[in-house]
């Protein structure tokens, strides 16, 4: 067998999160209109300002058109054929304790490796579990409240802390930012809200787990993280969805705000259903993620491991406004079969002495397309700012495609920008070298890939680094030969 054939065999692992939970759900009819927006808002019993926000976004959205510049192809999306709200049927009251949560749901999350019950839950990670459109449970809330950290679903935050939400929602990603963020602003159903007060170092990892269950439903969640002066938080999100042969839309918005000396670390392990080997089904993952380093010496770090989704379109960005602020982006994007990914980052340097680092590793196998698209902009006032970018691609099989589109815009001569990129493949010679040492091809490939991605995995919290490594080797199983 040739090297390529083995690598290819290695990638074709069945998707093990593809089951559907049979649970009674409450959905609204398909389609989008002003009434639907009002209905969602009413269902969530939201304050007045929220409805205005949604309606404004909806009206903006009507005027906008879908972006056509990404290097991806998909049939036109019928926005009237999507269910914009779907939630497990439950009593109106929000659960006070986990015991009241539907056991089927708990079971579902357990099956996904996210135990929520008291006995089994991970000891140092607080989890907010989002099922279709709503948050079903948040663990460790009381422990977090003791140090003043607010960690809850955004719908709860709207009731309990409306002034905070009103102040920051849409401040980083304005509603008219792009087509999908406007859509999200109009119909978002739930998401996580994190507030770290002044000087607090969050005692544990925070995490949100997103699960799409209902066929034909779109998921539109909104995450808002605010780190006050001198605070610190590490946040992780994970996602899975069942296997359907229709495509599902996931258009999320994530906003991060870091004030003076604050530090936010945001990690994503994305494993949405990617469609079958012929590209049927799968999630369209059209996500807007942006962090604002508003304060001096603040830092926002994005780490992402993108393995799922039929189409990924996301550019976690940092707007470095505060002097001496730092933006980081570490990414591994793996595409296989017919997957398409157009992902990268934007580093907008506004303040003085701001620094950013971009490390992007793309692996494309099968007939997939993997594009890195990044923007580094040095504004006229960003004196002494610095950027270093590195994007490497690895091609497995001769039908995969790897592209890089780095945009570099510099308006200040005291800045320094460096960009490098390379493309390579797993060579037969390298595999032979491993074989000589008695290491099987599969192990060799997974070792090489894990070495290739090491710079990024090192950035993930411990538990998830192991998880990500395993996920990648599972995903690649059967693609190397």
Partner 1 sequence: MTLHVASTDTVEKPMSGADQDRQAYLAKLLAQRSPDGPSWLGKIRDRALSIVQERGLPSNRDEDWRFTDLSGLYKTTFAPAAQASLHLQDIESLILADAPLRLVFVNGFYAPALSAVDHRPVGLSIHTLVDAAPLAQLGQQQGMTEVFTALNTANFEDVVVIQVAKHQIIETPIHLLFLTTGEEPTVTYPRGLIVAEDHSAVTLIEEYAAVGADTYFTNAVTEVWVGQNAQVHHHRIQREAKTAFHIGKTAVSQDRDSCYSLTSLSLGGQMSRHNPLVIPTGEQTDTRLQGLTLAVDQQVADTHSDLSFTGPHCTAQQLHKCIVDDRARAVFNGKIFVPKLAQQTNASQLSRNLLLSTKARVDTKPQLEIIADDVKCAHGATVSQLDDEEVFYLQSRGLDRDSACDLLVEGFAAEIIEQLPIAQQRQRLLDAVLSEIR
* Contacts (Cβ under 8 Å, ≥6 apart) of 262: 196, 227, 228, 229, 230, 231, 232, 295, 298, 299
Minimum CB separation of residue 374 from partner 1 in Å reads 10
438 part of the interface to partner 1, by CB under 8 A: no
Does the CA dihedral 427-430-431-432 come out positive or negative? Answer: positive
Rounded to the nearest 5°, which phi and psi values hold at 446? Answer: -70, -30
- What is the per-residue binding string for partner 1 in 163-202, x denoting contact by CB under 8 A? ----------------------------------------
287-326 mask for partner 1 (x: CB under 8 A)?
Answer: ----------------------------------------
Q: Stretches 17-25, 99-107, 216-224, 420-428: which one binds partner 1 (CB under 8 A)?
A: 420-428
User: Residue 281 CB, nearest distance to partner 1 (Å)?
Assistant: 24
For residue 442, the minimal CB distance to partner 1 (Å) is 19
Asked if 77 touches partner 1 (CB under 8 A), the answer is: no
Q: Which is nearer to partner 1, 404 or 446 (CB)?
A: 404
Residue 368 in contact with residue 340, Cβ under 8 Å?
A: yes
From 28-36, 236-244, 416-424, 430-438, give the range in contact with partner 1 by CB under 8 A: 416-424
**How far is Cα 358 from Cα 363, in angstroms, rounded to an integer?**
16
Residue 56 interacting with partner 1 (CB under 8 A):
no
The window from 26-34, 95-103, 290-298, 421-429 that contacts partner 1 (CB under 8 A) reads: 421-429
| Cβ atoms < 10 Å from Cβ of 35 | 11
Q: Is 356 in the site for partner 1 (CB under 8 A)?
A: no
64 binds partner 1 (CB under 8 A): no
Q: Is 2 in the site for partner 1 (CB under 8 A)?
A: no
Say whether residue 69 binds partner 1 (CB under 8 A): yes
Restricted to residues 6-45, the positions that interact with partner 1 (CB under 8 A) are: none
User: What distance in Å separates the CA atoms of residue 66 and residue 313, rounded to the nearest whole number?
Assistant: 12
Nearer to partner 1 (CB atom), residue 266 or residue 372: 372
- Residue-by-residue DSSP string for 162-217: HHHHHHHTTTSS-TTSSHHHHHHHHH--B-EEEEE-TT-B-SSEEEEEEE--STTB
65 binds partner 1 (CB under 8 A): yes
Nearer to partner 1, 332 or 417 (CB): 417
Pairing mode, strands 340-343 and 311-314 = parallel
Between 413 and 436, name the residue whose CB sits nearer to partner 1.
413
Scan for tokens 């980083």, then name that residue. Answer: 172
Cβ-Cβ contacts under 8 Å for 34 (sequence gap 6 or more): 55, 58
Binding mask 372-401 for partner 1 (x = CB under 8 A): ------x-x------------x-xxxxxxx
Size of residue set near partner 1 by CB under 8 A = 37
The DSSP string of 388-419 is EEEEEEEE-STT-EEEEEEEEEE--TT-EEEE
CA pair distance 141, 145, nearest whole angstrom: 6
Is 459 near partner 1 (CB under 8 A)? no
**324 vs 389 by CB, closer to partner 1:** 389
Complex with partner 1: residue 122 or 421, whichever CB lies closer: 421
Bridge partners for 27 per DSSP: 86
> By CB under 8 A, is residue 366 in contact with partner 1?
no
**Sign of the C-alpha dihedral, residues 221, 231, 324, 328?**
negative
| Cα→Cα distances 343→43, 182, 251, 317, Å | 34, 19, 14, 11
Distance CA 169, CA 160 (A): 15
Q: Rule CB under 8 A: is residue 432 a binding residue for partner 1?
A: no
User: Under the rule (CB under 8 A), what is the footprint of partner 1?
Assistant: 4, 65, 69, 378, 380, 393, 395-425
């Amino acid at each position: 067998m040739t090297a390529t054939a083995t690598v290819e065999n290695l990638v074709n692992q069945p998707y093990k999160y593809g089951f559907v939970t049979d649970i009674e759900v409450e959905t609204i009819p398909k389609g989008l209109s002003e009434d639907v927006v009002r209905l969602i808002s009413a269902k969530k019993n939201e304050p007045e300002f929220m409805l205005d926000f949604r309606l404004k976004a909806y009206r903006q959205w009507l005027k906008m058109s879908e972006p056509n510049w990404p290097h991806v192809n998909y049939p036109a999306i019928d926005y009237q054929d999507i269910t914009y709200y779907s939630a497990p049927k439950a009593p109106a009251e929000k659960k006070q304790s986990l015991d009241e949560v539907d056991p089927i749901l708990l079971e579902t999350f357990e099956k996904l490796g996210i135990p929520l019950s008291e006995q089994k839950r991970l000891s140092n990670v607080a989890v907010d579990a989002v099922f279709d459109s709503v948050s079903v449970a948040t663990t460790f809330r009381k422990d977090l409240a003791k140090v003043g950290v607010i960690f809850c679903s955004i719908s709860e935050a709207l009731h309990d802390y409306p002034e905070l939400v009103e102040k920051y929602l849409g401040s980083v990603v304005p509603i008219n930012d792009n087509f999908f963020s406007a859509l999200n602003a109009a119909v978002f159903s739930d998401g996580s809200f994190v507030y770290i007060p002044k000087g607090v170092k969050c005692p544990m990892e925070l995490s949100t787990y997103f699960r799409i269950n209902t066929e034909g439903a779109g998921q539109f969640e909104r995450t808002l993280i605010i780190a006050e002066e001198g605070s610190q938080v590490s946040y992780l999100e994970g996602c899975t969805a069942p296997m359907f042969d229709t495509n599902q839309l996931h258009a999320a918005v994530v906003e991060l705000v870091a004030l003076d000396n604050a530090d936010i670390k945001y990690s994503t392990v994305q494993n949405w259903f990617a469609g079958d080997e012929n590209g049927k089904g799968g999630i369209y993952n059209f996500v807007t993620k942006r962090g604002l380093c508003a304060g001096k010496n603040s830092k926002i770090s994005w780490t992402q491991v993108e393995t799922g989704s039929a189409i990924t379109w996301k550019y976690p960005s940092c707007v470095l406004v505060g002097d001496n602020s730092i933006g980081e982006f570490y990414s591994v994007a793996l595409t296989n079969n017919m997957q398409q990914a157009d992902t990268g980052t934007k580093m907008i340097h506004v303040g003085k002495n701001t620094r950013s680092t971009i490390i992007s590793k793309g692996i494309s196998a099968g007939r997939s397309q993997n594009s890195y698209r990044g923007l580094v902009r040095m504004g006229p006032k960003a004196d002494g700012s610095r950027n270093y970018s590195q994007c490497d691609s690895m091609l497995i099989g001769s039908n995969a495609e790897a592209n890089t589109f780095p945009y570099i815009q510099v308006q200040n001569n005291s800045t320094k920008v460096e960009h490098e990129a390379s493309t390579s493949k797993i060579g037969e010679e390298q595999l032979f070298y491993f074989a000589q040492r008695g290491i099987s091809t599969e192990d060799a490939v997974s070792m090489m890939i894990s070495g290739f991605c090491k710079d990024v995995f090192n950035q993930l919290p411990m538990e998830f680094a192991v998880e990500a490594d395993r996920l990648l080797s599972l995903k690649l199983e059967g693609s190397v030969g």
